Amino acid sequence: MIGPVAFLGTGLMGGPMCANLAAAGAGLRAWNRSPDKARALGHGIAVAASPAEAARDARACIVMVSDGPACRQVLFDDGAAAALAPGAIVIVMSSIGHQEALDLAERVRAMGLRWIDAPVSGGTPAAKAGTLSIMAGGADADIAAAMPLLSPMGRVTHIGPAGTGALTKLINQITVASTIATVAEAMLLAEAGGADPAKVREALMGGFASSRIMELHGQRMIAGDFTPGGPARYQLKDTRAARDVAAALGLKLPVLDLVDGLFADLVAHGGGDLDHAALLMELRRRNGRAG
């Protein structure tokens, strides 16, 4: 096991990921903007007062903060990258833009460090269970070296060189976002037409419309439980980043454009901190239906 290891960002996702890694025997120093969240982890995890303190002479640094700018902040402005041991591996597991990943990788490598972009999918249930889907971009040797750290958190797929993990996460996110939008439309159509949405979901789960989104987020919509697992504002961040990639590649992705607009309106109407399944609320608003 590589060690010591810095873990930066122990929020909704990072907290259980860090705990699983500690349970697997990694020697961790954790940092979080809200220190109490890091202290609450237990498992013998040392809590650092700053990113640089967590990273001091560490052989690996795992970053699980909100977005690309936050990654730049903790790695460079707050001094974590400069504090790492020579040749240490920087593993950014945050959802960041494709170009952001390429830019960060270049800067990290220029400092004599190694780079992996390894965003995750599966939400807080998978983070707690250690069953996340981990999409890794980086050099073969670096991925191999990092496997003892990545495996306790989930199933690792090495996509390709630096940046491809981040790109795959954006592909995941536009698939999730568009499916949430379709499931929300289905639930709205059911309730407006007088069918029991719970029974509709039950029927659909037995056919080709079945999906993880229908299973989990369909139930959230029926229950009206929008406690955030994946906040809508983060979903909007990812659809915006995916649109940027599409534009740079000269692609027209009309479904992505439509879904991005739906999430933008949900956030604009105060739903940014609700789960992304709350997109049903925006569709109700557009149709003049309360609730």
Question: What residues are annotated to the active site?
Answer: 169
Q: Which is nearest to 123 in space by CA: 172, 186, 160?
A: 172
Q: Which tokens hold the place of 54?
A: 């967590």
Measure the CA dihedral 33/38/40/43, to 10°: 180
Helix locations, 73-157, DSSP H: 80-83, 98-110, 123-129, 140-150
Q: Which tokens hold the place of 116?
A: 């992996």
In sequence order, the 6+-apart residues with CB closer than 8 A to the CB of 7 are: 14, 17, 18, 21, 28, 29, 30, 31, 45, 54, 61, 62, 64
Residue 207 phi, psi (nearest 5): -130, -160
Cis peptide before 119 (omega within 30 of 0): no
| Distance separating alpha carbons of residues 26 and 152, to the nearest angstrom | 10
H/E stretch holding 51: helix 51-55
Q: CB-based burial of residue 3 (10 Å sphere; 0-12 exposed, 13-18 middle, 19+ buried)?
A: middle
| Distance separating alpha carbons of residues 113 and 133, to the nearest angstrom | 25
Query: What is the β-pairing status of strands 114-117 and 132-138?
Result: antiparallel
Helix (H, G, I), strand (E, B) or coil at 37: helix
| Distance separating alpha carbons of residues 100 and 103, to the nearest angstrom | 5
